[in-house]
Amino acid sequence: MSGWLKQLLRFLWPGSLAGRLVLLLVATLALAQVLLVLVLQNEHDAVVAGIVRGQALSQTVTLTRLIESMPQEQADRLAGAFTTRGTCAWVSADPPDPHEMTSTEEGLARLLSRRLHGVGNGAPAVHIDTDGLWDRRCPERSSEDFPWLRRGTGGPSQPLRPGLGVVALSVPLSGQRWLHVDAVVGLPGIWSRPIVLSFLISALAVSLVTVACVRFQTRSLRSLADASERFGRGESIPPLDVRGPSEVAAATRAFNTMQQRLSQFVRDRMRLLAAISHDLRTPLTTLRLKAEFVDDAEVRNDIVATIDELVAICEATLAFTRAEATSEETRTVDIEDLCADVVEEFASVGADARMADPMAARVLLPCRPVAMRRALRNLVDNAVRYGGRAEVTVGQTGAGAVSIRVEDEGPGLPEDRFEEAFQPFVRLEPSRSTETGGIGLGLAIARSIVKAHGGELTLANRPGGGLCAEIVLPTAERS
């Protein structure tokens, strides 16, 4: 399948479930309407025959009997008396133009012959003009006759108004004469304007009702999708109301159960980490006191440094679990102002941190500000600690997404170790000293917070040297 055809199908095929259901239902109903019209087309000839039988045949039979029962010189006068604004009759020696009659015309000719009961001098001829063009064969008719039948004026043939047709009947008379009768009758067309208008109105009404019904039925599914997205961002949401079709209701119940179990699992894990870290502080404090009684100063300093490192790890773990356990409400904030506040904190203590040029428009982001501030603080701290300086840039990366880049001028990192840098308690700083390299939780905490907001945190080496940590967050609004 060619590329343009795939693009066309993607354009015509809606992405939402409601849109697809509406399209399928409307297309099915439209197909049913077309099939109905095709079925009616088969009945069209019978309808035409019935109309002609009722309007034209009776007049022709009556006129034929009268003409055959009176002198020949009065035939033209009698035929002229039958000429009205809807019918034209005349007697001439000219036979009708030869043509191959349709099955409907042949049936009408046989019916006309039976109703004449032997009157006349041969088989009659019938021609039904349903194409909207009629010839002015009648010699008694002037150009002003039948003005209500025509769209235009003048000319040997004129298009009739929609829904009208001409039935040309020719009956052979005695004396090698022909009686010609042209009658204008109403012949319903399959695709006439009223039928097409009725089709469009019914299709529009059905489409509106279908859209309303489908949107109502998929409302609970939209609520489920919205709740899933919010839960994926780490928001605390109440259990959803179980409603809608049985399949959607089952999915909603499964989502409520999954949400409850995952939330309970996360809470239990946080409590376990907090308990372990808290319980370790007491024996570590005891060990530190005992280490002070070691006579060898070098050994004593090594032991104390190791204990201090363990205490720092416990404190960081406690801080991490407290942050994860905190149920913070989501608020819409100006993300550029939030970044500027974090940069100002570092600049106020002498660190080389600054904001890039501000954006022309505000970038509003629904987030948990305290958690997001902590993630940014960890990234700026890493940039200042390892890269000497930090530059923060806020930008828009397409519809519904905002990016925050924290760049430094340090040596960067090997690309094959980018993912390793996000692992908890992993320090890529060669000395592995807590004074220069921390304890290895900064990037792990930052990525955890960003993922809880439905975003991504990635690392990349800058072309001119240094490291760039980029946060991309969804659902941004611009004003």
Together in a domain, 398 and 306: no
Residues 60 and 207 in one domain: yes
Same domain, 239 and 154: no
Question: Residue 370 contacts by C-beta under 8 Å, 6 or more apart in sequence?
Answer: 326, 328
- Residue 474: what pLDDT? 83
- Identify whether 44 is part of a domain: yes
Please state, in angstroms and as integers, the Cα–Cα distance from residue 1 to each residue in 8, 15, 20, 253, following that order. Answer: 11, 20, 22, 41
What's the mean pLDDT in 84-92? 78
Q: Sign (positive/negative) of CA torsion 141, 145, 146, 147?
A: positive
Q: Based on the fold, state whether residues 6 and 107 are members of the same structural domain.
A: yes
Verify that 381 and 311 share a domain, yes or no: no
pLDDT band at 62 (very low <50, low <70, confident <90, very high): confident
Does residue 229 lie in a domain region? no
Asked if the structure places residue 143 within a domain, the reply is: no
Same domain, 169 and 240: no
Show the beta-strand stretches assigned E in 358-476: 363-367, 390-396, 401-407, 456-461, 467-474
Which among 187, 217, 247 is the end of a domain?
A: 217
Within this chain, do residues 48 and 194 fall inside the same structural domain, yes or no? yes
Q: What is the pLDDT of residues 417-466, one digit of tens each?
A: 888 888 877 766 654 444 545 567 788 888 888 888 888 999 999 888 88
Is 201 a domain residue?
A: yes
Same domain, 157 and 168: yes
Residue 152: pLDDT band with limits 50, 70, 90: very low
Query: Is 212 a domain residue?
Result: yes
CATH number of the domain to which 388 belongs: 3.30.565.10
Q: Are 168 and 182 in contact (CB under 8 A)?
A: yes
Using pLDDT thresholds of 50, 70 and 90, give the confidence band for residue 467.
very high
For the chain, the straight-line distance linking the first and the last C-alpha, in angstroms and rounded, comes to 42
Final residue of a structural domain among 277, 306, 327: 327
Q: Are residues 344 and 371 in the same domain?
A: yes
Say yes or no: 239 and 339 in one domain. no
CA 373 from chain centre, in angstroms, equals: 37
Is residue 181 one of the residues assigned to a domain?
yes
CB-neighbour burial class of residue 335 (10 A; exposed 0-12, middle 13-18, buried 19+): buried
Q: How many domains does the chain have?
A: 3
Distance of CA 74 to the CA centre of its chain: 76
Q: With respect to residue 223, please indicate whether it lies within any of the assigned structural domains.
A: no
339 pLDDT band, cuts 50/70/90, is very high
pLDDT over threshold 90, residue 52: no
E strand or H helix that includes residue 164? strand 164-173
Per the domain annotation, does 153 fall within a domain?
yes
Predicted confidence band at 34 (pLDDT cuts at 50, 70, 90)? confident
The pTM for the full model equals: 0.50
- Residue 192: the pLDDT is 60
pLDDT digits (tens, 9 = 90+) for 91-142: 888 888 777 777 777 887 888 888 887 777 778 888 777 655 555 555 555 4
Single residue among 297, 327, 357 that ends a domain in this structure: 327
Question: What is the structure's pLDDT at 50?
Answer: 65
The confidence score (pLDDT) of residue 20 equals 74
Structural domain boundaries, residue 293: 234-327
- pLDDT of res. 156: 45
